[in-house]
Amino acid sequence: MKKRVAVLRGDGIGKEVTDAATAVLDSIGRRFHHEFEWVNGLLGGEAVDKAGQPLPEETIKICEESDAILLGAVGGPAWDNHPSHLRPERGLLQIRKHFELSVNLRPVQAFKSLLAVSPLKEEVAEGVDMMIVRELTGGLYFGEPSFHDNEKAVDTLVYAREEIERVVIHAFELAKQRRNKVTSVDKANVLESSKLWRKIVEEVAENYPEVEYEHMLVDAAAMKLITYPAAFDVVVTENMFGDILSDEASVITGSLGMLPSASLRADGFGMYEPIHGSAPDIAGQNIANPIGAILSAAMMLRSSFGMEQEASAVEKAVKSVLEDGYCTNEFKNIGRKVLSTREMTEKIINEI
Amino acid sequence: MKKRVAVLRGDGIGKEVTDAATAVLDSIGRRFHHEFEWVNGLLGGEAVDKAGQPLPEETIKICEESDAILLGAVGGPAWDNHPSHLRPERGLLQIRKHFELSVNLRPVQAFKSLLAVSPLKEEVAEGVDMMIVRELTGGLYFGEPSFHDNEKAVDTLVYAREEIERVVIHAFELAKQRRNKVTSVDKANVLESSKLWRKIVEEVAENYPEVEYEHMLVDAAAMKLITYPAAFDVVVTENMFGDILSDEASVITGSLGMLPSASLRADGFGMYEPIHGSAPDIAGQNIANPIGAILSAAMMLRSSFGMEQEASAVEKAVKSVLEDGYCTNEFKNIGRKVLSTREMTEKIINEI
Ligand SMILES: CC(C)[C@H](C(=O)O)[C@@H](O)C(=O)O
Ligand SMILES: CC(C)[C@H](C(=O)O)[C@@H](O)C(=O)O
């Protein structure tokens, strides 16, 4: 197959980890006879500097003409004092909304060989393998009215039935391919939006008799993600709760650098990015962990291109390098073999 | 001194742990020559059954005629299918709003002798001693409009300047008596209400040059509470974020049964309750942990009655019993001496 991919490397280590991901996909292309065409576009801080806005028109055009988007990370102290509309992360919110990337998938896994770096006790983190499904284009993030003056501030949490249905159905579909369990997180004892959410979950669940589901209040979920994380399979929740809970859960792995994400439109088009930030303090030093970006590329193969075998090949290669005792700089204190970003990328490519 | 206290034992284990707390305070009364008058009122599920509403008028009257409120816990499966206005927790929200209990304090400590039961590695949990200050009567919990029908749902996050100022000032005042550090948690890269929040924190901070403060995004805070919890001293945040983060942080201790809370009005009037729920599964078995309720009573002595010495006496007694190796049923697997609710209460009283 021939696929055209918009590559938005962004700022800081976003650049080096995206390069790692495209290098790995090139080797997948050679092995499985696909051709990936990479088209670079600006996003985030660099886009503000060079094009005067975090998401330039030109970048939108590049993405529209592509089959998927591969993203690095955006932001950095250089843009911290810019007005809101010139903040790098504004570009992220805009691109999500523009392309209707309403379903955000964040898998969280405990890698056996890295249990030593998890803040959780090894027996608590062991075996964790969950998929957090976050609604990404509704709720408090985009509701109107939304304003503040010196005396008062208002944000609005709005959801329409279709927005909730879409993400909940996605969660149940995923559960069927996994361990057949969905935990829907809401705050139905307080929020009206959660009451509608809960109702829709119950309606959708009727079409999935094989999937076991439960409702959990967000405060209870924030506890259970730490006390008993292995109990979760698929977790589905609204935008703001998803932001908080997915970051919370991500610490189980012991390093944000390991974790990928996908943001999907209903037709399968998607944007793929590691969950870590641009880490300006270590940018350009060839020490960043490329695995989150590489696993994001694997999610792209699976979710946007239907290349299941190729996605698994990438995931297996990563696993095998980890099992051989290799790691990047952030794990240097646990007696493993430390590689640079490029060396790690090469090792993974060699396993493919 | 003579103090009149409204006792709302509530449902499930709320009853037994509240009895433990009043017994401990009676012994404080004997030792320090105070007289506590306990006046019982209905709240929650039992109130729904006996008075047709979760917060009866009679209970409000009892509280208004008292110097403070001691609360157990409310709720249980018996009321799970009641309509919203007849849910036990509705009574909680109503009492907070009625008495303007806008500042919620939730201390989180890692007890050295219980590190083995924390889901966090001992070296991560060790030394944790933070105070979470949550705004309790504003934000998404009470904003209008708030409704849902079959197609759409809306909740509104509203804050007025005074509401934010009040809780932020409280946090800085507490920091002065602690380790002089405030972490203000918001989502200023997305929410307008968080922008006003951040601005007010900066204004208030100017009056506390000795207190170091930082802003932290809620998603980053959800991570750091687990990866590096000992870094926090006072954490201040809005209602919904506070609900999620305080429950998240509470797991560090290893048992919710240990943790107290206070909900305060500007003039010092307050409501005190353990953070655990009504635990219907173990209610009436004399095995619940009374320590959260007892430490809540200590917070009442300190915050509403200005009885610092008496509060410390309770806290020291609890600590010493824990250090002697005693615990209640939920810790039975870590080789400690297990006591019933009443035995634990007696042991603590004996230390006073
Ligand atoms: C940068 C920020 C706007 C964004 C969000 O809140 O969605 C980030 O935290 C994320 O989770 O992708
Ligand atoms: C019972 C519920 C309404 C309440 C809240 O969300 O405030 C509880 O979770 C709490 O934290 O006291």
Ligand 2 centroid to Cα of residue B138, in Å, is 13
Residue B170: burial class (beta carbons within 10 Å; 0-12, 13-18, 19+): buried
Please judge whether A155 and B222 are an interchain contact, meaning their C-beta atoms are less than 8 angstroms apart: no
DSSP β-ladder status, A260-264 and A270-274: antiparallel
Residue nearest to atom 3 of ligand 1 (CA): A89
Is B193–A153 a contact, with Cβ atoms under 8 angstroms apart? yes
Residue range A5-22, pLDDT digits in tens: 999 999 999 999 999 999
Write the residue in A118, A120, A157 that is nearest to B157 by C-beta.
A157
Q: Are B133 and B101 within 8 A, CB to CB? A: no
Report how far residue A173's alpha carbon sits from residue B33's, in angstroms, rounded to the nearest whole number.
66
pLDDT of residue B334: 83
pLDDT of A335 higher than 90: no
Q: Widest CA span of chain A, in angstroms?
A: 61
Q: Of A157, A164, A155, which Cα lies nearest the Cα of B150?
A: A164
Q: Which amino acid is at A22?
A: T
A153:B226 CB<8 A: no
CA distance B203 to B305: 30
pLDDT in tens, B120-159: 999 999 999 999 999 999 999 999 999 999 999 999 999 9
pLDDT digits (tens, 9 = 90+) for A29-78: 999 999 999 999 999 999 999 999 999 999 999 999 999 999 999 999 99
Residues of A in contact with B87 (CB under 8 A): 189
Q: Residues of A with CB below 8 A from B190's CB?
A: 93, 140-141
B89 lines ligand 2 (CB under 6 A): yes
Nearest CA in chain A to B219: A244
Q: What average pLDDT does the segment A208-222 reach? A: 98
Q: Tell me: is residue B89 an annotated ligand-binding position.
A: yes
**Diameter of chain B measured on Cα atoms:** 61
Interacting residues of B228 by C-beta distance below 8 A, sequence separation 6+ = B124
Nearest CA in chain B to A124: B119
Tokens of A321: 């390098």
Indicate if the pLDDT at residue A346 is higher than 90. yes
Q: Is the CB of A207 under 6 A from ligand 2?
A: no
Cα(A243) to centroid(ligand 1), Å? 7
Structure tokens at B279: 């635990």
- Active-site residue numbers of A? 141, 187, 219, 243, 247
pLDDT digits 0-9 by tens, A290-307: 999 999 999 999 999 999
Query: Given the CA of residue B217, which atom of ligand 1 is nearest to it?
Result: 9
User: Is A220 near ligand 2, meaning CB less than 6 Å away?
Assistant: no
For residue range B280-290, list pLDDT tens digits in order: 999 999 999 99
Our CA-based measurement puts residue B37 at a distance from the nearest CA of chain A, in whole angstroms, of 34
Residues from chain A contacting residue B256 (CB–CB below 8 Å): 223
**pLDDT beyond 90 at B335:** no
pLDDT (mean) for A253-273: 96
* DSSP structure class, residue A113: G
Instruction: Give yes or no for residue A121 having a pLDDT over 90.
Output: yes
Q: Name the minimum distance, in Å, from the CA of B180 to any CA of chain A.
A: 26
A189 contacts on B by Cβ (under 8 Å): 87, 89
pLDDT reported for residue A150: 98
Residue B102: its pLDDT value, please? 98
Give me ligand 1 centre to Cα A277, in Å.
10
The DSSP element (H or E) to which A261 belongs, if any, is strand A260-264
Measured between beta carbons, which residues in chain B are less than 8 angstroms from residue A195?
84, 148, 153
What pLDDT was estimated at residue B15?
98
Please name the helix (run of DSSP H) or strand (run of DSSP E) that holds residue A122, with its range, or none: helix A122-125
Of A340, A337, A295, residue with least CA distance to A25: A295
Q: What is the mean pLDDT of chain A?
A: 97
Helix axis angle, B308-323 to B14-32, nearest 10°: 120
In angstroms, rounded to a whole number, what is the distance separating the alpha carbons of residues B200 and B212? 15
Substitution target in B137, B157, B250 with the highest count of A β-carbons within 10 Å is B157
> For the segment A96-119, what is each residue's pLDDT rounded down to a tens digit?
999 999 999 999 999 998 999 999
Q: A127 pLDDT exceeds 90?
A: yes
pLDDT of B249 over the 90 cut: yes
Question: Between chains, do A119 and B227 touch, taking CB under 8 Å as contact?
Answer: yes
Could you give the domains of chain B? Answer: 1-106+254-352 (3.40.718.10), 119-252 (3.40.718.10)
Nearest CA to ligand 2 atom 1: B89
What is the pLDDT at residue B228?
98
Q: Which pLDDT belongs to residue B348?
A: 98
- The reply to whether B220 sits in an annotated binding site is no
- Using alpha carbons, list the distances in angstroms from residue B34 to A75, B4, B27, B30, B307: 59, 11, 9, 7, 10
Q: Is the pLDDT of residue B318 over 90?
A: yes
Name the band, by pLDDT with cuts 50, 70 and 90, for residue B72: very high
Q: How far is the CA of A99 from the centre of ligand 1 (A)?
A: 16
What confidence tier does A333 reach under pLDDT thresholds 50, 70, 90?
A: confident
Please give all residues whose beta carbon lies within 6 A of any atom in ligand 1, as ranges: A 89, 92-93, 243; B 189-190, 219
Q: Which two tokens stand for residue A328?
A: 């990047």
Query: What integer pLDDT is reported at residue A332 of this predicted model?
Result: 86
Q: Where are the alpha helices (DSSP H) in chain B?
A: 14-32, 45-51, 57-64, 88-98, 122-125, 161-177, 192-205, 218-227, 239-250, 291-303, 308-323, 341-351
Closest-approach residue (CA) in chain B for A146: B192
User: Does position B113 have pLDDT exceeding 90, yes or no?
Assistant: no
Q: Give me the pLDDT at residue B3, please.
A: 98
Q: Mind listing the pLDDT tens digit for each residue in B195-239? A: 999 999 999 999 999 999 999 999 999 999 999 999 999 999 999
Angle between the N-to-C axes of helices B218-227 and A239-250, in degrees from 0 to 180, rounded to the nearest 10:
30
Mean pLDDT value across residues B67-84: 95
CA of A75 to the centre of ligand 2 (A): 35
Q: Is B21 annotated as a binding residue?
A: no
pLDDT band, very low/low/confident/very high, at B332 (cuts 50, 70, 90)? confident
Mean pLDDT of chain B: 97
